[in-house]
């Protein structure tokens, strides 16, 4: 079967978008970002006669602060993501309605995390602002990624941010931060379900074309926050802490979605679709092996550290 162009795909999948927008609106609970912020802890900074920021004012561990900052800067870049999603889905029909609803929901994520970090002094506010400016000026740009690739990517990405928020919350060991990030993670999960269901319908509509899109996005996957200044170093810290690492990426993001879509049992693929599935299988196998090596190294390092402390 020949590939469907964007107009044909948007038309054929529009009823699925509408059905899933309705389902989403019924499932989504309204929540207030200000209710997750301990305002009583807030106080003026230096310019208003208060105390300047310094690191010991925060109750959080350095890695918890880094993870919260990475998650916040990722969420801060929403205007770029809005541009990407709007370019792919357009402004009409259920697609356009979803774009606006999704953007409005995403907006809350940065608001509550920023407010939380500022009142608890969990982040250097000057450094945070500089990093936000850098991140947003770099912007997020996937090029002219085709519609099905966008849908596959955001399915993985929403699930990845869900897990990253949830694990960051646990790692803070601070009940308010944990409650806030659990709330944010619930939103990401509902977003993931919307995009996952679109991909599911696309697999039925145009299986080989969709399989190629899924394969491309697994092979090339990068977190949306990859453009944050110092992301590589910060991502390593988060991986070492078990907040987001290759094992989690393989076990909790990639495999569950591929299983849910039934890609391994999918019938009706043409030669290109079969080749894409083979490439996907190789990529997932390589990711699994790399994850195993990473966890082994991390354990070796932890054992060495423990031995040194006991010596
Ligand atoms: Fe978000
Ligand atoms: Fe989301």
Matching residue, tokens 């944050």: 228
CA of 102 to the centre of ligand 2 (A): 7
**pLDDT tier at 311, thresholds 50, 70, 90:** confident
Cα 105 to ligand 2 centroid, rounded to whole Å? 8
As given in the structure block, the two tokens for residue 49 are 């006669």
**Average pLDDT score over the chain:** 97
Residue 230 in tokens:
């110092």
State the average pLDDT over residues 185-190.
98
**What number of residues does the chain have?**
311
Residue 21 Cα, ligand 1 centroid: separation in angstroms? 17
Measured in angstroms, how far is the CA atom of residue 160 from the centroid of ligand 2?
10
Any idea what DSSP says for residue 60? S
Note the ligand closest to the C-alpha atom of 71: 1
Helix axes 271-310, 231-240, angle to 10 degrees: 70
Q: Ligand 1 centroid to 310 CA: how many Å?
A: 42
Q: What is the pLDDT of residues 75-132, one digit of tens each?
A: 999 999 999 999 999 999 999 999 999 999 999 999 999 999 999 999 999 999 999 9
pTM of the model: 0.96
8 A C-beta contact, residue 128 and residue 136: no
CA 184 to centroid of ligand 1, rounded, Å: 7
Cα–Cα distance between 86 and 84 in angstroms, integer?
6
Q: What's the CA-to-centroid distance between 78 and ligand 2, angstroms?
A: 10
* Cβ-contact 189, 162 below 8 angstroms: yes
| 219 and 290 Cβ atoms separated by less than 8 Å | no
* CB 197, CB 16: distance < 8 Å: yes
- If you measure from the C-alpha of residue 76 to the centroid of ligand 2, how many angstroms do you get, rounded to a whole number? 12
Q: How confident is the model at residue 310 (pLDDT cuts 50, 70, 90)?
A: confident
Query: Could you tell me the distance, in angstroms and rounded to a whole number, from the CA of residue 292 to the centre of ligand 1?
Result: 29
Contact status, residue 110 vs residue 72, Cβ threshold 8 Å? yes
Q: Which ligand is nearest to the CA of 75?
A: 1
Query: How many CB atoms lie under 10 A from the CB of residue 49?
Result: 7
Alpha helices (runs of H) in the chain, residue ranges in sequence order: 6-27, 62-76, 78-89, 93-119, 125-138, 147-172, 175-205, 207-219, 231-240, 246-248, 255-261, 271-310
**pLDDT, tens digit, for every residue of 2-14?**
999 999 999 999 9
């Amino acid at each position: 079967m020949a590939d469907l162009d964007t107009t044909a795909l948007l038309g054929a999948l529009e009823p699925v978008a509408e059905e899933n927008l309705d389902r989403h609106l019924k499932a989504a609970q309204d929540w207030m970002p200000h209710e997750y912020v301990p305002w009583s802890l807030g106080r003026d900074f230096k310019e208003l006669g208060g105390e300047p920021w310094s690191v010991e004012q925060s109750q959080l561990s350095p890695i918890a602060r880094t993870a919260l900052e990475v998650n916040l800067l990722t969420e801060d870049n929403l205007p770029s993501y809005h541009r990407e999603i709007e370019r792919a889905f357009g402004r009409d029909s259920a697609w356009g309605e979803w774009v606006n609803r999704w953007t409005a929901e995403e907006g809350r994520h940065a608001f509550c995390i920023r407010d939380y970090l500022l009142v608890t002094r969990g982040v250097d506010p000057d450094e945070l602002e500089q990093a936000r400016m850098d991140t947003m000026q770099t912007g997020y740009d996937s090029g002219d990624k085709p519609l099905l690739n966008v849908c596959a990517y955001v399915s993985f990405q929403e699930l990845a941010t869900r897990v990253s928020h949830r694990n960051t919350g646990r790692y803070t060991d601070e009940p308010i931060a944990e409650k806030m990030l659990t709330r944010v993670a619930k939103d990401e999960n509902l977003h993931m379900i919307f995009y996952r269901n679109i991909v599911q319908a696309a697999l039925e509509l145009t299986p080989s074309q969709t399989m190629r899109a899924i394969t491309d996005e697994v092979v090339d996957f990068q977190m949306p926050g990859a453009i944050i200044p110092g992301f590589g170093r910060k991502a390593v810290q988060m991986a070492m802490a078990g907040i987001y690492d290759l094992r989690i990426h393989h076990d909790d993001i990639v495999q569950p979605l591929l299983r849910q879509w039934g890609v391994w049992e999918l019938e009706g693929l043409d030669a290109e679709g079969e080749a894409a599935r083979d490439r996907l299988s190789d990529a997932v196998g390589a990711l699994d092996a790399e994850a195993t090596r990473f966890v082994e190294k991390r354990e070796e390092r932890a054992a060495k550290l423990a031995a040194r402390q006991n010596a």
